[in-house]
Copies of this chain bind each other. A is one copy, B any other.
Amino acid sequence: MGILNKIFKKSRQPEGDGIFYNQMKALLGFAPLTIDYYQRAFIHRSSNKTDENGNAINYERLEFLGDAMLGAVIAAHLFSEVPTGDEGYLTKMRSKIVSREHLNELGRDLNLIKWVKSKVSAQHFGENIHGNLFEAFIGAIYLDRGFVYCEKFIFEKVIVPYVDIPKLEGKVISYKSLVIEWCQKGKKPFHYEVYEDNGTEGQKHFGVKLSIDNKVVAKARATSKKKAEEKASQRAYFAFQEKINKK
């Protein structure tokens, strides 16, 4: 078991080598220039690493930097995306997007934890490590490539897949409940079915299909059953909207 664990850990934590570089490049969608920044973004304080001046080397300072960059990028996005929103609205929406819960979800979905170098085992990290790693990773991007690349990464990995403004506004709390309500009103039978449950350590994937009137109307994959159901519901909802608008 001990040997298996070691092999497993080794393959998951490459040492500043070509594997890590390629993984980072794939995650970023562009080439890292200074790989050290990304390495630092995964060093847990328990490693007790220090530089030649005795300053701690871990990802905690990068969190501070990444948090600030994330805040600025989301602010700029909301500013241009919602021209009707006043200062209070923009502030409220931003805090929803960068909430601890949301950042943890982002970090977890990107499975950042698999690169962590630590002297304590993963069970001791606590839930917030996912969000902290996400912030630190943004901080590393800023140091490596500057603000515009932070913007590019946040747009692709946060804004496009996660920022659903009507939902954040609370106008739509759950697409699943909208779909169920719509089916019940129309007396249509509906059914959510898990067709895929692909669980590997750290990164789980679920596939869910939604049938209405015994026909599959939408499919979606996500990191939890609940999220996959919600995604499938959203797709079904937008497909219905389109149909209604065409009539």
Contacts and interface: CB of A to CB of B under 8 A. Distances in A.
A167 interface: no
Contacts of A86: 56, 60-61
B71 A87 contact: no
A143 B229 CA distance: 39
Contacts of A146: 147-148
B75 A64 contact: yes
Nearest to A68: B75
A79 B61 contact: yes
Interface in A88-122: 90-91, 94
Copies of this polypeptide in the complex: 2
A194 to B, nearest CB: 40
Nearest to A90: B64
Instruction: Say what secondary structure dominates the interface of chain A.
Output: helix
Interface string A49-81: 000010110001101110111011011100100
A64 B91 contact: yes
A38 interface: no
Interface string A5-30: 00000000000000000000000000
| In the complex, the 3 A-B pairs of residues with the closest C-beta atoms, listed nearest first | A68-B75, A72-B72, A147-B147
25 contacts: A53-B83, A55-B83, A55-B84, A56-B86, A60-B87, A61-B79, A61-B85, A61-B86, A61-B87, A63-B87, A64-B87, A64-B91, A65-B76, A65-B79, A67-B75, A68-B71, A68-B74, A68-B76, A69-B75, A71-B71, A72-B72, A72-B147, A76-B142, A79-B139, A146-B147
Interface of A: 53, 55-56, 60-61, 63-65, 67-69, 71-72, 74-76, 79, 83-87, 90-91, 94, 139, 142, 146-148
